[in-house]
């Protein structure tokens, strides 16, 4: 933590972190990797400020609260079309959009790949042709194999699958990095960040070091492919139980279910609260749904083991037996 970011030992750390990520994620050479600050929320502005370069048009799918926030930021800077939204249905599914709705001259097309709060994900990505697809993968990055070449840009706040909060990973195709309006703050300029190897100013050095360790761990687990197998197993265990339960109901559309965030309710807020409280006593913490939706949410990121999910299912079964009549 005391190491100068301009020192040789630290240069080795940040370069190794990038090299490891390129390897485990299969990032093509024509993409730049950036380690930034400010979280996904700063990307919500950086993306339009950098990528609205030609038509100043972008298409957005509004599939959750964070996609909605991204959309609101983008609306400050260009002609933004909401090509699909599930807002009216509490974001319980991924909007299905006919590609004829996509604008062929848009500067980019935006999605949030996994919707943390609602427990949904894109199981198939929109085919946007020549329009670069930009994806917020904050809550699903490295959870399953992704073909980076299908995206113009992938980004993620670190705090789910990457490392400690305070690092934002950006993977961007080189041709999308270019000049920005002169009024864009220096720190919000991808080109300046890229030209300086993420060291225009002091980066979050320790966080990046931790990301490097995480990439080592992923490789040791057998890579992203192995994690995906385990993640599918974990999610299936939980969803299979929920689907046959008479007490618990999943809240996300089945075909859009997330592998990372499993959302469910009993249908009775008091019983939900009782479940959350009793689960905590068993060491099953942070099971409460996001403050904006209530209910329950099991976030089963890469770090969660199959055994951990089994423990949750066992507890849910026990709770169901004890509370079925309630």
Catalog residues that contact its own copies under the rule CB under 8 A. Answer: 1-2, 4-7, 37-42, 44-46, 49, 69, 72-73, 76-77, 157, 159, 163-167, 182-183, 185-188, 200-207, 210, 286, 291, 303
Tell me whether strands 168-173 and 249-250 are parallel, antiparallel or unpaired. Answer: unpaired
Name 23's Cβ contacts closer than 8 Å, sequence gap at least 6: 219
| Minimum gap (Å) between residue 298 Cβ and its own copies | 14
Nearer of residues 128 and 159 to its own copies, judged by Cβ: 159
Nearest Cα residue to 253 out of 266, 245, 244, 243: 243
Shortest Å, Cβ 21 to its own copies: 18
What's the rounded Cα separation, in Å, for the pair 306 and 283? 16
**Minimum separation from the CB atom of position 140 to its own copies (A):** 16
CA 212, 214, 217 angle in degrees (round to 5)?
A: 115
Nearer to its own copies, 125 or 206 (CB): 206
Nearer to its own copies, 64 or 163 (CB): 163
Classify the C-alpha dihedral 140-163-251-62 as positive or negative.
negative
Tokens 């079309």 belong to residue? 81
**Whose Cβ is closer to its own copies: residue 57's or residue 249's?**
57
Distance, in Å, from the CA atom of 6 to the CA atom of 325, rounded to the nearest integer, reads 64
Which of 213, 326 has the CB closer to its own copies? 213
Q: Hunting for tokens 């502005």 — which residue is that?
A: 45
Q: How far is the CB of 190 from its own copies (least distance, A)?
A: 14
Question: Closest separation between CB of residue 34 and its own copies, Å?
Answer: 13
- Rounded distance between C-alpha atoms, residue 301 and residue 313, angstroms: 16
């Amino acid at each position: 933590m005391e190491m100068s970011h301009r020192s040789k030992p630290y240069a080795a750390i940040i370069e190794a972190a990038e090299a490891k990520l390129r390897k485990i994620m299969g990032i093509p050479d024509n993409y730049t990797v950036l380690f930034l600050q400010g979280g996904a929320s700063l990307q919500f502005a950086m993306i339009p400020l950098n990528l609205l370069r030609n038509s100043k048009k972008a298409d957005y799918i509004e599939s959750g609260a964070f996609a909605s926030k991204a959309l609101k930021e983008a609306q400050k800077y260009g002609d933004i079309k909401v090509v699909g939204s599930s807002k009216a249905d509490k974001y319980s599914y991924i909007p299905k959009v006919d590609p004829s709705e996509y604008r062929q001259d848009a500067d980019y097309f935006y999605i949030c790949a996994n919707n943390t709060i609602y427990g949904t994900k894109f199981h198939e990505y929109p085919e946007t042709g020549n329009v670069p697809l930009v994806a917020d993968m904050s809550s699903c990055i490295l959870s399953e194999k992704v073909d980076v070449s299908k995206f113009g840009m992938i980004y993620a706040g670190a705090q789910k699958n990457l490392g400690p909060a305070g690092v934002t990973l950006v993977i961007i195709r080189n041709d999308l990095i270019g000049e920005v309006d002169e009024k864009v703050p220096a720190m919000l300029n991808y080109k300046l960040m890229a030209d300086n190897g993420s060291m225009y100013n002091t980066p979050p050095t320790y966080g990046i070091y931790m990301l490097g360790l995480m990439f080592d761990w992923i490789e040791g687990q057998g890579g992203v492919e192995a994690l995906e197998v385990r993640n599918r197993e974990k999610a299936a265990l939980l969803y299979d139980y929920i689907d046959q339960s008479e007490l618990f109901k999943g809240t996300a559309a089945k075909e859009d279910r997330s592998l990372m965030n499993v959302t469910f309710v009993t249908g009775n807020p008091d019983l939900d609260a009782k479940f959350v409280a009793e689960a905590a006593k068993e060491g099953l913490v942070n099971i409460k749904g996001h403050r904006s939706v209530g209910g329950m949410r099991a976030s089963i990121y890469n770090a969660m083991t199959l055994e951990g999910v089994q423990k949750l299912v066992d507890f849910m079964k026990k709770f169901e037996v004890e509370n079925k009549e309630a």
